[in-house]
Amino acid sequence: MIKRKALVLFLALLLVFLSSSAFIYAQNEETPATEEEQLDSEIEENTEGIGELYAQNDKLEMYINLENRTCITIKDKQTGHMWSSIPMDYASDTIAQGSGGTINDMTSALLVSFCDDKSNKYTVSSQVSSVKRGTYKIRKYKDGSGVQIEYDFSRKSEQFIIPVRYQLEDDSLIVEILYDKINEYGTMKIFDISLMPYMVSGKMGSEGYLVIPDGSGMLVDFSGDNSNANTYEEMIYGRDMTKNLVKQTTVNEKINLPVYAASLGTSAITAIVESGDYNAYIVANPAGKSSQYANVYTKFIYRQTDNASLSDKDWNARDIFLIRDETLKENPKVKFCFSTEDTDYNGIAKTYRNYLLKNGFKKLSDKKANPSLNLQFYGLTKIKESFLGFMIDKKVTATTFDDVIRILEAVKGDYEVNTILYGFDKGGYQDIYDKSLSFDGKVGGMGGFKKLSQKAQELNTNIATVFEPTIAYKNPLFMFTFLNTATSLDRQTARFNTYMLSTGEKVKSNAYYLAPSKAAKYTQDFIKSAAKKNIGIAFESLGESLYTDYNTKKYCDRKDNAENMTKAVLTADKLYSMAFGGNIYTAKAVDHVTDIPTISSGFDIEYKSVPFYQIVMHGLLEISGKSLNFAENTQEEFLRAIATGTLLKYSVVGQNNSKIRETDLNFLYNCYYEDFSDITEKQKKFSELHNGLQNVFIDKYEVFGNITKTTFENGKVIYVNFGDKDEEIDSITIKAKDCKII
């Protein structure tokens, strides 16, 4: 009896000792624990099969089930709702069972792509290569906020260790891949890592959808089998412009916001990419394709890669895989926010907007409460003509400063006008890259600008000249191109390429992307020159394109490039400033973002397009869409602008010059001001509806058949009927192709 009691006591003490360890090894390996770790290790027993409690705060608890593939489950203390990194019924997913390694992907925290010394590429999962083999360990943080899991891919064909940090923060889970602690102890080179591929997912047939920030935003629903749709994979902020693209078969909208989410009926999960976003992709799979789940996740670049085409001795082209030896340094980090209230895409947009407000964004001031009109004037271009047997450039004028004044007087109303001057500087549209501002005599020169500037207050207008900071379209002064331009991974100068709409083939270009250091410096020089003339600046492509410079002496990745350009633009803080394109990193640096997307790309994975971008950004800064007169359906685009509060913009020329059709401005065929006289009418209607609302957040955007209902936080509601017949909603009749504010 005494021996039995002693044995029980011994086993109890042994259990306490084991549970106090700061490390848990899958192969029963232990390390001595400090006193603080012993106190923290008094964890609760398994709860509802979700594992042991490893971390908690005032709002959330984190459980890890070691027996179930290191599944991480987050539990809301107040509601009891739970979110898991692995679908709980994955084992019964017949689609996943029949599609190769999808089951292993579903149960993995990481999917890792790497290559060997012969450039053979492989992708493995943490489930197969680490967890099943027992080559992982878990370390608890002393403050009880979370754990660090080291995944050791120990097979001879892999041999690397990837540590991942999981920590609770308020109502969120922060997951960070520790790039600075990755250990490649073999010969393989990792080039990208996908993080928690099924944390944000929903089962086929269930209520809800994925939210993906493609263009204005798109939803991928769970309602049925969508197996015929393609996997979605796009780079955040658009493709790397120095990466080789032989053929462009589609023209897509970009991902402007580093966020994705799932609305799950009674709950929602929002994933915000806090770091690593400049070098990451958002990937989404439709329900029914490789599993019963639709899922979305981020794939982070660890080493940059590209493809190049080389010719052998017989001039046969072959593609080769290029990979950079050096790795990216920034640790990727994703913040998963959990909610059981406001669980639709409106609530998800609010979650992200609140995040932006906590991280440097501010609400628009009352001075910006009323909507402005945006007019983009095109000034000067060139045409090739024969003179004495020689081809010369002859200037062709589209708009003069006198034309601008005349048109501004015609559209003058009880609203502000933002006047954007494109191609009024010396040389005209997309001509010589100039670090200082001077106006061409053909459009009126400096005298014409002064005349416009003196009338600016009377015409109630802000004036901004377009400046392209990163692309040198034509510049004979750049005699030594390699000193001034960015370099691609294959050591070629990075060209700004265009592609034929008919075939998608690349068109040879003499335009180049500038080295980021040069672009930032030249931007600051231009800002100083513009400040002397007291004119604002509209930065072309600033929020539209981003690239890496692989120059061995001045390497600059996309993150550093964006940050350097943003710092340069901030020196224009005393001038009115605009940026073309909606990439979020530019938004804090300027007063106005234009050419934002108003629809999504329309991929086959999409259930429907939603104005997610507008719901997030309306009230934070001025946003305007692309030129209304370029829209396929002008009236529908106008109604869409009213429904979302997206400011109106038009492209305008003041002269009906037939020669324009033979120049680079041949796309301006419907921009002669005299041919469309409804600018004032449309802007007046827009202002009547949106006066006082530009600095008010959108609370909810809803769709009821042909009618949209936009509710603002101050209680104002705008109804828009996109249909061809009058319709009734909320006991209110909305006329066909019309709108009403309540």
Looking at residue 247, its pLDDT comes to 60
Question: Does the pLDDT value for residue 246 go beyond 70?
Answer: no
Which residue, 398, 279, 337, is CA-closest to 673?
A: 398
- What six digits make up the tokens of 174? 């922060």
Residue found under tokens 């009674």? 266
Find the Cα–Cα–Cα–Cα dihedral 255, 260, 262, 268, rounded to 10°. Answer: -140
Looking at residue 616, its pLDDT comes to 98
Q: Is the dihedral of CA 551, 178, 76, 47 positive or negative?
A: positive
Which 3-state string (H, E, C) describes 663-724? CCCCCCCCCEHHHCCCHHHHHHHHHHHHCCCCCCCEEEEEEECCEEEEEECCCCEEEEECCC
Split at pLDDT 50, 70, 90, the class of 252 is: confident
Question: Does the pLDDT value for residue 249 go beyond 70?
Answer: no
Split at pLDDT 50, 70, 90, the class of 690 is: very high
Alpha carbon distances (Å) from 293 to 126, 195, 496, 534: 20, 17, 40, 56
- Which tens digit of pLDDT belongs to each residue from 361-401? 999 999 999 999 999 999 999 887 766 667 678 899 999 99
Split at pLDDT 50, 70, 90, the class of 483 is: confident
Average pLDDT, the chain: 89
Name the least confident of 78-92, 257-271, 411-425. 78-92
Looking at residue 308, its pLDDT comes to 82
- Mean pLDDT throughout 655-677? 87
Residues 6+ apart with CB under 8 A from 354: none
Which 3-state string (H, E, C) describes 140-185? ECCCCCEEEEEEEECCCCCCEEEEEEEEEECCEEEEEECHHHCECC
Domains within the chain, CATH numbers bracketed: 43-358 (2.70.98), 366-695 (3.20.20.70), 697-742 (no CATH)
Which residues, listed in sequence order, are joined to residue 83 by a DSSP beta bridge?
74
Question: Does the pLDDT value for residue 98 go beyond 80?
Answer: no
Share of the chain above pLDDT 70, in %: 88
Q: Is the dihedral of CA 289, 292, 298, 299 positive or negative?
A: negative
Q: H or E element: which one contains 404?
A: helix 401-411
CB of 716 closer than 8 Å to CB of 693: yes
**Could you give the CA distance from residue 91 to residue 107 in angstroms, rounded to a whole number?**
10
Question: 666: helix, coil or strand?
Answer: coil
Looking at residue 69, its pLDDT comes to 65
Alpha carbon distances (Å) from 5 to 9, 10, 12, 448: 6, 9, 11, 101
Question: Does the pLDDT value for residue 15 go beyond 50?
Answer: no
Measured between alpha carbons, how far apart are the two ends of the chain, in Å?
Answer: 84
CB of 189 closer than 8 Å to CB of 323: yes
Name the least confident of 39-53, 461-475, 602-616. 39-53
Question: 129: helix, coil or strand?
Answer: helix
Question: Does the pLDDT value for residue 597 go beyond 70?
Answer: yes
- Which tens digit of pLDDT belongs to each residue from 159-178? 999 999 999 999 999 999 99
| Helix, strand, coil content of the chain in percent (nearest 5) | 25, 35, 45
- What six digits make up the tokens of 147? 């754990």
Which residue, 228, 195, 224, is CA-closest to 209?
A: 224
- Which tens digit of pLDDT belongs to each residue from 128-147? 999 999 999 999 999 999 99
Question: Does the pLDDT value for residue 11 go beyond 50?
Answer: no
CB of 617 closer than 8 Å to CB of 587: yes
Alpha carbon distances (Å) from 164 to 103, 146, 171: 21, 11, 20
Phi–psi pair at 729, nearest 5 degrees: -150, 135
Which residues, listed in sequence order, are joined to residue 609 by a DSSP beta bridge?
218
Question: Does the pLDDT value for residue 16 go beyond 50?
Answer: no
**Could you give the CA distance from residue 344 to residue 261 in angstroms, rounded to a whole number?**
10
- What six digits make up the tokens of 348? 């998800």
Residues 6+ apart with CB under 8 A from 127: 69, 104, 105, 107, 108
Question: 566: helix, coil or strand?
Answer: helix
Split at pLDDT 50, 70, 90, the class of 45 is: very low
Question: Does the pLDDT value for residue 659 go beyond 90?
Answer: no
Looking at residue 508, its pLDDT comes to 67
Split at pLDDT 50, 70, 90, the class of 482 is: low
- Which tens digit of pLDDT belongs to each residue from 554-579? 899 999 999 999 999 999 999 999 99
Kind of pairing, strands 71-76 and 60-65? antiparallel
- Mean pLDDT throughout 491-519? 80
HSE at residue 148, side-chain half, CA atoms within 13 A, is 16
Find the Cα–Cα–Cα–Cα dihedral 39, 41, 46, 48, rounded to 10°. Answer: 80
- Mean pLDDT throughout 259-264? 98
Looking at residue 475, its pLDDT comes to 61
Residues 6+ apart with CB under 8 A from 316: none
Looking at residue 9, its pLDDT comes to 47
Name the least confident of 13-22, 224-233, 422-431. 13-22
CB of 522 closer than 8 Å to CB of 514: yes
- Mean pLDDT throughout 323-343? 96
**Could you give the CA distance from residue 550 to residue 315 in angstroms, rounded to a whole number?**
27
HSE at residue 47, side-chain half, CA atoms within 13 A, is 16
Phi–psi pair at 209, nearest 5 degrees: -170, 160
Question: Does the pLDDT value for residue 28 go beyond 90?
Answer: no
Share of the chain above pLDDT 90, in %: 73
Looking at residue 47, its pLDDT comes to 44
- What six digits make up the tokens of 374? 């945006």
The arrangement of strands across the sheet holding 136-140 comes to 23-25, 136-140, 146-153, 160-169, 172-177, 333-339, 268-275, 259-263, 209-212, 218-221, 608-609
Kind of pairing, strands 461-467 and 160-169? unpaired
CB of 376 closer than 8 Å to CB of 650: yes
Looking at residue 288, its pLDDT comes to 92
Looking at residue 194, its pLDDT comes to 98
Looking at residue 492, its pLDDT comes to 87
Helices (H), 272-370: 345-358
Q: H or E element: which one contains 2?
A: helix 2-19
